[in-house]
Chains A and B, each alone.
Chain A
Amino acid sequence: MTRIDPKFGKKLKRYGAFDYDACYNCGTCTSVCSLAKKDEEFPREMVRYSATGNQDEILSSLKPWLCYYCGECSTNCPRSANPGELMMSLRRWLTARYDWTGISGLLFTSLKATVIALLTVAAGVILFAFFMNFDPEAVMKYGHYFEMAAISGVFAVILLPNLIRMWYFTVIKPGYKVSFKAYFIALKELFIHMFTQKRALGCDDNRKRWFEHFILVIGYLTLLFTTVFLDWFGTDSLYVIVGGYIVSAIVFIVTADFVTGRIKKSKEISRHSRPSDWLFVIWLLLMGLTAFIVRIAIDTDILHDNFWIYLIHLTILAQWALIIVPFGKWTHFIYRSFAIYFSKLTSN
């Protein structure tokens, strides 16, 4: 027996959901959904749980992550109840619930908190540079250490515990019995989906978007790996430099296309952008852009005299690594692929 909880709806609205209470449960959304299957039906069910405030059902469900926001549900909804945007909001809410620190929830629901967080990190970077006497060599050296420390720290302290919480809520608590072997067998799914987002191809007319998204993920992972772990910023190899320019240029164009998509609201998915969505794409763009400029500055040998260029890049990077990655939209990279992994485990 679950008590109906109307307050849940009010909470959900702060995560971006709107008008979903206009739903009269015709089920058009589920029937037009290209991704819903017989034993994985959504989004109507999730709309219903949201309307009656059944948090337990939503928290234990992986379905919000299985939705890739093709938008057909919202386009075809006879009541304009925006089921697609509700699923998006549920993903934000779930991200907040998985996060043990509670910071995600704060940032998703308060623009003020987000701005304060961004400013705090920026001030920290400036302060750090100040203590280094704005010495480019030292700042860049420690900046590089910081990058590595931030990535491993965020993973160990925030992302891993949150992932374990997700696993507990969706696999353990609902009582699925999964054999040890099954965890290994399903790993294949995890990696395929993590690096290819294959499932998104299931949306109709989504090849271009999928391809762009794919380029982005691979592009940024490459940049991350080459710059942070191999420190190719300091390289002299012409191949690497030219290759770097090309990769950066492609990633840029694609990111810029994502940003303009959100500005133009051309597709259902980009129609109702929240601050968290803007933050994600804009910082992605800025990160690439500043890295690119830094690269040019290094190659034209002007960085030393224009050190602020690197400082801006470092600020963007720090904000990205300390705010957006652990508590923002970046986490969908992990949760989406793990949702498919867990879903594979629980469906057997």
Chain B
Amino acid sequence: MDKKLGVYICACGGNISDYVDIEKVREAVKDEDCVLLARTTMFACGDSNQKEMEKDIQENNLSGIVVASCSPKLHLTTFRSVSERAGLNKYNYVHANIREQASWAHSGNKQGATEKAIHLVKAAIAKARFAKSLEPTRIKSQKSVAIIGAGVAGIKASIALSNMGDNVYLIERENKIGGKLASLGKVFPGNITGEDMIARLNEEVKNEDRITLLTSTKIKECSGNIGDFRIRLQDNIETGEPAVSEREINVGSILVATGFESYTPSEGEYGYKEIDNVITLPEFRDLIKNGKEGKELVFKNRKIRDIAFIYCVGSRQIKGENKYCSRYCCSAAIQSSLDIKERFGDVQVYHFTKGVRTYGSQELKYAEASRSGDIFIQFPDKDEPVVSSEKGVTLIKAKDILSAKKEIEAAVDLVVLVTGMVPDSDKSVGSLLKLPRGRDNFFNEIHMKLRPVETVIDGITIAGTCQGPKGVMESVNSALSAAVKTHSFVSKGELELSPIVAYTDVKTCEWCGACSEACPYNAISKSEEDGKVVAIVNKTTCKGCGMCLPVCDSDSIELTSFTNNEIESMIEILAN
């Protein structure tokens, strides 16, 4: 073999060298086949050593390097960059982990640790001998995006993307935009109403030339991959609106913002549908909105002087499935309480809560409500209030945690069930795009904190309440961040994908379909090559996970960077 390899063994300031005799390791590997130079270093990741490595590569015209140091999680990219800077294709770099896997793991056995380190470095050298230069797969990306759902999240994302220069298809199943926010009154914090906010956004959408608004439209089919999704659209028959001609759009990325649905209490839950003055928070919001200001609040010909809110209906359930907190409802209930007092004068409000969660500045609203005479009763999680109607009087009986669970009751004219958020009951978008859902049944991001808007499907991002309960502020935040992420997929018109993918040998492949079945990304399809039916891997969809390799009977699939040659030569060294 004509490879010229450089090997660097790191002391990690003693983390490695205190247990592994790195000089002995160097001695053991310096004469391995293809090894041109082998050095030890105090800190391989240190600036001076990186420069040293660059010099070595250039002066000796090295065609591969191995660094034996810590976990590749820490410094794989560091040393790949070193090779790139020195003009060596980064895939010629091989990493050996002799810290987590040798010195730290066997600190009680220095000799053993050293022997293991020698094996690991030799295996890395063996792999490096077969390593090939690879170039990323470049694919063309459509400079357009689809946004599914025109609620506040979808609208804000579409305006942001349009401002960044992308063509946006804003797809909405209803005949108008705005989603749930459009029908809300005053939304905390601040005094602006949901209607006003949507009206303002509607104007902005109209002024954006790059936004194509498609209302009363549903998604029928979706195929393709990042950079090149094809979506078939169909007019939404249920709304009975005139048909937008059935069409197909081609986009580079999809942003999903399909929103939430308010929890519907089951019949009899706190007297819902059984006692006629028990309603949900959304129903109550409508009642406030339609009531005449200055006059008394009237419901079913009954003057409303005392109102009870029962919190956490459909959220934080002890028996039910919805274990999560819906985040917005405490604040929404308190905002409603302040609204009614402002619009309809003196109303006594009772709040039956599981503990008020008005986080952030919403806390001030809570203080305002409690100062204005609202009475808050916290009931035990497992001992929920009972709503009953006795001789025409609606009573709520509860145990007050704050006075040693003493039983108290309130007589009210109206009971409002503060219902939480549940995922949209229309599951079609989720299943067409194959978006994974979490335990709460909302769409799942890759990582809650570190990759909060990406999904495991490349090129598809999520925003707003389809991901989980959020307030307006949080929805817009997530929408804008998803917009930026989506933009990054399409902005260059071209995408670089990792070259570590599977490929089939069409000569030996006898299509059996096992690989296609094993593939979690639908990247392998049946195809005809030179009159023969074989499996072909779609380079843009393949993630290089390797699931297809062991199921292939004829051994016709290989994975770049992890070829049979590379792996077998490593095993041979390690097994000796």
Contact = CB atoms under 8 A, between A and B. Distances in A.
Contacts of B371: 19, 21-22
Interface in A19-58: 19, 21-25, 45, 48-49, 51-52, 54, 57
A4 B351 CA distance: 12
A9 B373 contact: yes
Contacts of B366: 24
B367 A51 contact: no
A266 interface: no
Interface string B406-419: 11111100000000
17 contacts: A2-B408, A3-B411, A4-B350, A4-B375, A4-B377, A4-B409, A6-B375, A21-B371, A22-B371, A23-B370, A24-B366, A25-B378, A25-B402, A45-B403, A48-B403, A52-B375, A54-B403
Contacts of A3: 408-411
A23 B366 CA distance: 11
Given A4-B375, A6-B348, A6-B375, A52 B370 contact: no
Interface in B354-404: 356, 366-367, 370-371, 373-378, 397, 400, 402-403
A4 B406 CA distance: 11
A263 to B, nearest CB: 28
Nearest to B372: A21
Contacts of A11: none
Contacts of A115: none
Contacts of A49: 403
Contact of B403 (A1, A6, A52): A52
Chain A: interface size category: 20 to 34
Contacts of A9: 373
A242 to B, nearest CB: 57
A21 B409 contact: no
Report the interface size class on chain B.
Answer: 20 to 34
A244 B408 CA distance: 58
A347 B409 CA distance: 30
Interface string B9-45: 0000000000000000000000000000000000000
Contact of A6 (B373, B378, B408): B373
A4 B366 CA distance: 20
The 8 A-B pairs with the shortest beta carbon distances in the complex, nearest first, are: A4-B410, A25-B402, A22-B371, A48-B403, A1-B407, A48-B402, A6-B348, A2-B408
B408 A52 contact: yes
A1 B409 contact: yes
A309 B371 CA distance: 50
A79 interface: yes
Contact of B370 (A24, A45, A48, A54): A24
Nearest to B395: A3
Contacts of A4: 350, 375, 377, 408-410
B560 to A, nearest CB: 61
Contacts of A25: 378, 402
Nearest to B407: A1
Contacts of B402: 25, 48
Nearest to A1: B407
Contacts of B400: 48, 52
Contacts of A23: 370
Contacts of B350: 4
Contacts of B409: 1-4
Q: Which of B377, B397, B406 has the most CB of A within 10 A?
A: B406
Contacts of A1: 397, 407-409
A24 B397 CA distance: 21
A195 B377 CA distance: 42
A49 B403 CA distance: 7
B535 to A, nearest CB: 64
A8 to B, nearest CB: 11
Nearest to B396: A4
Nearest to A10: B373
Contacts of B376: 24
